[in-house]
Structures are given as structure tokens and as C-alpha cells.
Structure 1
Amino acid sequence: MDITFTDFLIGFSSALDLLSPENGHRGVRRAYIVMNIARQRRFSPLVQKRLFIAALLRDISHGAHTPQDCVRRIANIPLLAGSAGLIAARGQRHPESRLLDLADNLDLLALHEYPRGHYPSHAIETLCDSIGSRYQLDDILALRELGLEKKFWAELASATLINTAASFSPFAGTVLTDDELTALSSLLAAVIDQHCRSAAQHSVVVADIAGRLAQMYGFSKKGVLRIRVAGLLHDLGKLVVPAALLTKTSALTDFERRQIHIHPQFTWKILSRIAGMHDIARMASFHHERPDGKGYPFHLRGVQLDLGPRIISVADCYAALREARSYKTACSPEKCFSIMQQTAERGGLDAEVVGALHADVLAAGETMLSASPLLL
């Protein structure tokens, strides 16, 4: 099944929302406001596309992601390149940047100042005080026209707006190529790894190992691609976990451990919503499950875990053991496989997949993990 650019963008925006879950689906609401104004003002299709991307991905420049780094990464992806400056810029004088700021501030007013479902035109009048200094007159006038329609406020307040976001996308049925899917997933992986403070680019390494294992097991070219994407996105749900908890050096409390263990549920919630990515969602979300049923968070066992998630689980375990982290030193390959083989004997990993990776590492050495073609 094809994966559309719109659906993936909305999923990407939902992932970024995990960094500030108290704001709900802020990227989609921002896009809704911006696209309504853009259509009211009859902007060209090219401008509408640029604004739609920027509205959904603007929060990528928050937290550990510097604007300069974001611009560089986004500019390397042709689908997103035209929106790079808008995504990283705030408070600038460019007309499109000012429109995005307007949408942000209207959303904040609507979200925090008025009861849900009762957003009066006063929210817009408050913004009028900044015409000229922050916002363009024509944008405000278009917004005032929209504000007269109850449907505008009802849809903005709707908890199901994310389910209808494709209806105001300017990309119609644009389908991602394999290269585009990989590039967008690599960008999201960079966001994940920066949040997790992973200097080793953990997600990319997991994707590379999983891809090699999939090739060894005879996966098709498409199957190898999809397991690589699953590897890139396997830790997506960790965006909801505070970075300080992920890098904590002392022992975790039971409550903190439960906070971390819930992250695959968020991975599943976001990826399974993207049409065409159900198999990727399964592989990415089930990597902490165990063949003996003692994994988390779904407690799957045996035949409930097909080969895809078993491969991701082994790849993730090896990559994690090889990395130096705030709470541990890096293990040698020999030590890694000693630990993994013991875990497999206890039912925690697939012993056959562990053996396949061991044989591959012995044959190829650590060069298998260098110079990843997935890196942006």
C-alpha cells in the first residue's frame, strides 16, 4: 500500500507534538489556520504547499534542535527544501513567517484563553493590536472573515481535526517514493536521537543492522527498505519521555521505569495511523517484546512476533550495548554477543537472529556500521 506525503507529514507532526503533549495536536491546528487564511487570500499552490509543510513541522526547531541544524537537514530533502527557512524562523519579517506566527498566537489564545468550543472573535481582535508590527493587515482581514463562521471555530476545537487534516492538504494524493520515505524517516530519526542525546546516531545504526539482517534472511528489496524505516523510527515514542530521564545516571525508580516502558505504545499510536505503514508500525513498536512473552508493553510471545520485530529487537540490543551512554560504558563485540546469547537462552531474544548477526559481525567487522547511506 502506498504512503502519501500528507499522511507521513501529519504523522511527523504528531511525533513532534510528543515533545509538548500538553498542547495536543498543535501542528495540525496551526496548519488548519494557515491553510484557511492562504485559501481565503488565494495564495498560489506553491505558496500553499510551502506553508503547509512549515506549519506541520515548525516545532522541529525546539529543544535540542538548533535552527541552523534544522535548516541544513531540511534543505537536503527536496520535498521540504522550500520550507526550510520558514520552519526554523520565528519572529522574522518575511510575510509567510509572519503568517505562521499569527497562526501560532491565535492557536495559543484559542487554546488557553477561552473554553473549548467557545472561541469568540475577541481572540482575533486581540491580535489586531499587532497589525503592522507583527502581522500583515491582509492576513488579519482574512482571519476576521473566517472568524465569522462557526464552522471554523468548531473544526479548530475538534478533537478529531487530525483525522480530517488530509482534507486541507495542498498535496492531494502525492505518494512518497522509497528514497523520499527514507529521507523523511532519517530526518525524524535525527530528531529522536537528539532528544535521546544519542551521539552514536542510534536509530541509524539500528536501521543499518536490521537492513543487513533482512538481506541475510532473503527479504525483498521493498521488505529491506521497510525494515530499515522501522529501525529509523523504532524509538519514536521516546519523544514523550523527558530527556533528563533518558540520560539519568542513577538507578531508575519503578515509576520512572514505567514512564520509559510506555514509549512503544506512542510509537504504535502514531505509526499505525499512517496508511500504508502498518507493517512498519508493528516492527518499530514491538522491539521490546520478547519471544517468552515477558517483554513490554503488549506482552506478545512466540508466533505473535514475526521475524521483522525479532530482527529490530536484536539490532537495537546490539547497537545499545555497543554505545557508551550516560549510565554505562560501551561493550566490545565479544561482550555484546555474550550478553545477547545469555538473554536469548532465557527467552529474551531470538537465538537464531542473534547467531546470524554474530556471524555477520565476525565476517564483516565493525565496518558494517560505518558511513551509513541513510545519514542526511
Structure 2
Amino acid sequence: MSDVRTLSLSETVLTLSAALDLVSPLLVNHHRRVAYLAATLAHEAGLPPNRQHDVVLAGLLHDVGAFSLQERMDTLHFELQYPQTHAERGYLLLKTFTPLGTIADYVRYHHQRWDERDSLPGPIPPESLLLHLADRVAVLLRDDEPVLNQVGGITASILKHGGNMFSPELVEAFQAVSKREYVWLDVTSPGIETIIQEKLARTEVALPSSALAELSRLFGRIIDFRSSFTALHSNGVAAIAERIAQLHGFTQEECTLLRIAGNLHDLGKLSVPRELLEKRQGLTPADHNIIKTHSYYTYQVLSPLRGFDSIRNWAAFHHERPDGNGYPFHVKDDAFDQGCRIVALADVFTALTENRPYRPGMAPEAVRRELKAMGTRMQLDQQLMAAVNDCFDDLTVTCLSAKEQALSEYLRFRGAFDSWSRQGKA
């Protein structure tokens, strides 16, 4: 069984950050670059180590509330309209996990202009202003020219906006670090993740094992809340997987780990544009090919986590089949173990009950018939399917309860965001 107790908060945040930047090649490493620049500026500005650590985590997640591809691409413009919209969403998501409550405040105001800071009812965290500067420096970086040739132009752009867009004190700190060649070479290095890990290791924050399931639920919300059609999905998969494991006599630890895998199974779907998830006229073969990549990315994004191999496989293999004809790895036999088969079944069970843009959700008896047919076709494990058939009513209640919980969370999230929007802050 995986030993997940050694995981740290920074490791898991780095994992989520990597997934967030998969949506476009133009965004690869954006969160890491902002995190590195924020760390460098925070050190130059004299922030204590714990606040430097937090600003790195905030940099790694600052655009977590940008739900659509268009929103993410818009953030690459140096001056953009309505930037606070995705920042507010990010705040609302991150504050639900207590260890990230502080950085949620940093993310909330990471597009706040210096000369408009007094327009808000309360003080702006200095870390937010620092993130804003780091983010805008990052968007000025280009990959088509040697970075040291860009330093003069980037520095001139930042100096031009000192005292209006950016804090004069932070611009002064930026001027100091901009003269150090290694900073620019680090921020554009292919090894930037390792560089950030070294910075975080100096002030590591251990993640208690009891918090891992809660953190995975946050991941599930970030994955699912991008669209009303997927808003309930991961919580349903997690609950069904855990319940099947309980009914099959798994230990409490194994049941919890399967719940975590259920929450994380669609992590790679952050690489799929929301516009595709909400397409109403049906998916083309080209669309299907894009969507089929998501479980591959779930595997790749989770792979760096120490002691996470079993959870990674259970999460990433949810579109594999017992006969080896699933995707994208075509695993079978021992590689497609009982945990993988449980999550795969839980994913199908939950998906069949859900409304999608192109079809309504199925009634319980229709779900039962479809699952049985899939077991007969070796698309799901036959023995597991037979056992599930015996406890189908129990699982139906579990699924309904999980969906009600997720719906309550989603409506609370939407309600808070809509209330903020009505106040004219968007």
C-alpha cells in the first residue's frame, strides 16, 4: 500500500500547478515562472521565510480560477480587462482548504493595481502586489529570443508603470534582481521545477495524512467547477469507489486512498478546454482525441509524488479495460489491479447518471442495464460488476448523496461569486 504520509503541501501544490498549465503550449511553466519571480522579489524585499514560502505557493496557483482557455490566454496580455474575475474564483476555491487560506487572500488581489489599492474596503496584502508584479514580468517573457536579450525591454516596461500599476518599492526590488543574469536564466530554465523545489525545501510544510483526502477534494472542485456539466463528477466517483471498497472488505486506509484516487482521476482534464466540455452538438473524432489525452496527463502529473504510485494508477487507468482495449496505456492483467477496476467502474457509474451537453442522465435501472452490458463486453470487470449488481441500490444512494453534497458546494461557490459580481467588482 502506498505510504502517502511523507507528502508535503508544496509537492501537492506543484502537482496541481503543473496540471493548470497543460491547457495550452503557450502557458507551459507560466505558474512556475511567476512562483520563481515572486520568491526572488520576496527575498529581495526582505519578507521572512514563511511568507516567502507562501508567496511561492500563491504563485504556483494564482490563475487557478481562470476556467476557460480564453480566460487563461487573456492573462498573457500585459494589460487586461476584468482581471479580478478569475482572481475572485481562485480565492473562493482555495479558501475551502484551511492550509491554503492565507494564499487564497494573496491570489484574490493578485491583479490589484498599486494606484487603485485604496478603492477596496480593506488593506491589500503586500504579497498580492508582489504577485502582480511577478505575473506581469512573466507575461513579458518570450521563448523565441534569448532571455538576456530581453532584459532591457522588460525592465523598461516595468519602470514605466512604477507608481501606477506597481508599487514603487517593489519596482526598486525588481530593478535590483533584474541585474542578476542567473535570475533570468533560472526563470526560463527547463529545470525550473527543481529550482522551485529547492526554494520550498528550505521552509517545508508537512502535510498531515488526515489532510490529504481534504486536499484531494479541493483538487476535485478545481477540476469539476469549470463547468456545470462536470460540477458533481469527481465527488461521485470518489464516493462510489470508496463505498465499493468498503463493501468488499478493504481496510479503512485502502478505502480512503481509493476516495483520493476518485477525486484526482480527472486531474488531466485541466488540459481540456472548457469549451470542449460544454460542446452541445456532439464531439467529433478530433474532439475525442483531445479528451482521450486527459488520463495520460493525470498519470504524468501525479508521477513525481513520492509514494503515490498506487493512487496514481488507480486514478489514471480509469479508461482502461480488463481486456487491454482501453486507453491510453492498454494495460491489463496485474497492471490493471482491483483498485484500478473499482475506480473505472465508479467513473462509468457516476457518468451515466449525469446530464451532459449532448444527453440527459440515465435513470437507475437504465444505469444497471448499461453496466451489466459493459461487463458482458469486458469493458468493466465482470466479477466486480456481478458484486456491484448485488449492492446496486446501496451504490445508487451513495451516488445520490455524493451528488447532493457536491451540488451544495457548487451552489455555495456560485452564489458567493455571483454576489461578488453584483457588487460591481468584475
Normalised TM-score (structure 1): 0.92
1:22 to 20, 26, 41: 26
1:316 to 347, 366, 376: 347
**Structure 1 unaligned blocks of 5 or more:** none
Cα deviation for residue 3 of structure 1 reads 1.1
Cα deviation for residue 66 of structure 1 reads 5.2
Change (3 A) 1:223 1:364: closer
Q: Which residue of 2 aligns with 1:307?
A: 338
Cα deviation for residue 141 of structure 1 reads 2.1
State the percentage of identical aligned residues. 30
Give the counterpart letter for 2:64 in structure 1.
I
More deviation in 260-269 or 353-362?
A: 353-362
CA contact (8 A) 2:241 2:259 kept: yes
1:91 equivalent in alignment to 2:112: yes
1:141-220 paired onto structure 2 within 5 Å: 141-169=172-200, 172-198=203-229, 201-220=232-251
CA contact (8 A) 1:186 1:374 kept: no
Give the counterpart letter for 1:24 in structure 2.
V
CA contact (8 A) 1:209 1:369 kept: no
1:36 equivalent in alignment to 2:40: yes
Q: Which residue of 2 aligns with 1:136?
A: 167
Q: Which residue of 2 aligns with 1:82?
A: 102
Cα deviation for residue 10 of structure 1 reads 0.6
Change (3 A) 1:365 1:105: closer
In 2, distance between residues paired with 1:216 and 1:171?
A: 44
More deviation in 97-106 or 44-53?
A: 44-53
In 1, distance between residues paired with 2:133 and 2:394?
A: 57
In 2, distance between residues paired with 1:134 and 1:243?
A: 31
SS at match of 1:349: coil
In 1, distance between residues paired with 2:290 and 2:35?
A: 30
Change (3 A) 1:364 1:138: closer
Cα deviation for residue 365 of structure 1 reads 4.7
Cα deviation for residue 211 of structure 1 reads 0.6
**Structure 2 unaligned blocks of 5 or more:** 69-84, 118-123, 410-426
Give the counterpart letter for 1:308 in structure 2.
G
SS at match of 1:143: helix
SS at match of 1:80: helix
Q: Which residue of 2 aligns with 1:360?
A: 391
Q: Show CA shifts across 1:286-325 (max 9, x none).
A: 0000011110011112222001110000000000001111
CA contact (8 A) 1:208 1:372 kept: no
More deviation in 130-139 or 115-124?
A: 115-124
Q: Which residue of 2 aligns with 1:61?
A: 65
Change (3 A) 1:301 1:116: farther
CA contact (8 A) 1:71 1:85 kept: yes
Change (3 A) 1:50 1:173: closer
1:11 equivalent in alignment to 2:15: yes
Q: Which residue of 1 aligns with 2:304?
A: 273
Q: Which residue of 2 aligns with 1:342?
A: 373
More deviation in 43-52 or 25-34?
A: 43-52
In 2, distance between residues paired with 1:132 and 1:112?
A: 29
CA contact (8 A) 1:121 1:148 kept: no
SS at match of 2:391: helix
SS at match of 2:327: coil
Task: Name the count of aligned residue pairs.
Answer: 376
Cα deviation for residue 205 of structure 1 reads 0.5
Q: Which residue of 1 aligns with 2:78?
A: none
Normalised TM-score (structure 2): 0.82
2:321 to 290, 293, 318: 290
In 2, distance between residues paired with 1:295 and 1:339?
A: 17
Change (3 A) 1:134 1:41: same
Q: Show CA shifts across 1:2-47 (max 9, x none).
A: 1111110111111211234422111111010011111122212342
Give the counterpart letter for 2:14 in structure 1.
I
SS at match of 2:102: helix
Greater than 4 Å deviation, 4+ residue runs:
64-69, 371-376
CA contact (8 A) 1:288 1:296 kept: yes
CA contact (8 A) 1:121 1:147 kept: no
In 2, distance between residues paired with 1:4 and 1:261?
A: 30
Cα deviation for residue 371 of structure 1 reads 5.3
Give the counterpart letter for 2:274 in structure 1.
A
1:109 equivalent in alignment to 2:129: no
